[in-house]
Amino acid sequence: SLRDRFFLEQLRSPIRYGPDELDFSQITARVGGGQVMGRFTLLPQAEDSPFTLSVKFRDVQADQIVANAGGAKGMVTGQLEGYLDAGGTTADPNALSGVGEIILRDGQVQQYSLLIALGQLLQIDELRQLHFDQAQVKYHINPGVVTIDELLFRSPNLRLPAVGTVSFDG
């Protein structure tokens, strides 16, 4: 588990360990009912112990991930797929950098009561319960901050693009 909020199951990989490298070359695991594949390499003898990580995931149940992270069950449904290619150092957990993408397939989001009331008043079904034809985010990570390069939510009657930043502390 990662901070008791993100859980990997059935983790497998060949491990190669030498004095200058620790390599998990073919990681496979299950998370949120879906599949994860990747590679992790650490250089323990180099200054600050740099590492690289490449992960791809698919068929991950959004509802299970959100609930495990402490969110409301049923708030987000659908299947997640995407990737993360990143690197950093073990000496500084905020020094992570990389790029990634997350796509939500057959996504649905339960809305806050204010948006539900507004949707009923204005007769905009999408505000009552968002069902997305497309929901994706492309991002890159720099030390201490995630930059959202493209966030796009699209339904039959609504298109919501966004960009911005999120710091590691929320």
Q: What is the pTM of this model?
A: 0.82
Q: Exposure of 153 by Cβ count < 10 A (0-12 exposed, 13-18 middle, 19+ buried)?
A: buried
pLDDT attached to residue 86 = 96
3 state SS for 43-77: CCCCCCCEEEEEEEEEEEEHHHHHHHCCCCCCCEE
d(CA 70, CA 3) in angstroms, rounded, equals 11
Q: In this structure, are residues 78 and 108 in contact, taking their beta carbons and an 8 Å threshold? A: yes
- Per residue in 6-56, pLDDT (tens digit) is 888 999 999 999 989 999 999 999 999 999 999 999 999 999 999 999 999
Name the residue with higher pLDDT: 68 or 17.
Answer: 17
pLDDT attached to residue 128 = 63
pLDDT attached to residue 101 = 97
Largest Cα separation within the chain, whole Å, is 66
What is the pLDDT confidence band of residue 109, given thresholds at 50, 70 and 90? confident
pLDDT attached to residue 75 = 79
Q: In this structure, are residues 153 and 130 in contact, taking their beta carbons and an 8 Å threshold? A: yes
